[in-house]
């Protein structure tokens, strides 16, 4: 067992709930962005890629924590991991700019934690 296994498997129920809600919220925001971009005729490939990655991240957390099956291949998992890790710099930049104690900072903290846990869950499933 490595350090990441300990973190993903010993996450508090509150952190699990907040992480799942955070990813569901992220999915909702991306779906809204995709809808608006589609209506405006804007290129949607990046949003689609991110949306798929977050769906996979959520599915892997639900698999690890709640034993819900997922239908993703090793390639899907690897792609999702790359996309999710690529999100960290901009989210962390927004976090640094956010005001201490603000609702925005709390949202970003939860999003970062959720995405970190999703990457760990993807790594855990990829190792099997």
Q: Is the pTM of this model over 0.85?
A: yes
Query: What's the confidence (pLDDT) of residue 10?
Result: 81
Tens-digit pLDDT profile for residues 7-25: 677 889 999 999 999 999 9
Query: What's the confidence (pLDDT) of residue 7?
Result: 67
Under 8 Å between Cβ of 9 and 23: no
Compute the Cα dihedral for 87, 91, 93, 96 and give only its sign: negative
Q: Is the pLDDT of residue 2 over 80?
A: no
Across the range 120-125, mean pLDDT stands at 93
Tens-digit pLDDT profile for residues 79-111: 999 999 999 999 999 999 999 999 999 999 999
- Long-range contacts from 123-126, C-beta under 8 angstroms, 24+ separation: 123/4, 123/81, 124/4, 124/5, 124/8, 124/60, 124/64, 125/60, 125/63, 125/64, 125/70, 125/77, 126/74, 126/77, 126/78, 126/81
Domain residue limits at 88: 3-126
Under 8 Å between Cβ of 28 and 92: no
Count of the separate structural domains present in the chain: 1
Token readout for 127 is 């190792």
Higher pLDDT, 128 or 67: 67
d(CA 108, CA 117): 14
pLDDT class of 1 with cuts at 50, 70, 90: very low
């Amino acid at each position: 067992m490595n350090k990441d296994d300990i973190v993903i498997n010993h996450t508090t129920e509150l952190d699990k709930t907040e992480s799942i809600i955070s990813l569901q919220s992220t999915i909702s925001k991306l779906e809204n962005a995709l809808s608006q971009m589609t209506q405006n005729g804007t290129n949607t490939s990046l949003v689609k890629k991110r949306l798929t990655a977050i769906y996979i991240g959520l599915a892997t957390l639900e698999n690890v924590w709640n034993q819900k099956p997922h239908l993703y291949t090793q390639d899907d998992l690897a792609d999702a991991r790359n996309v999710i890790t690529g999100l960290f710099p901009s989210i962390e930049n927004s976090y640094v700019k956010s005001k201490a104690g603000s609702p925005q900072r709390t949202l970003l903290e939860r999003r970062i934690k959720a995405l970190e846990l999703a990457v760990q869950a993807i790594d855990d499933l990829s190792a099997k």
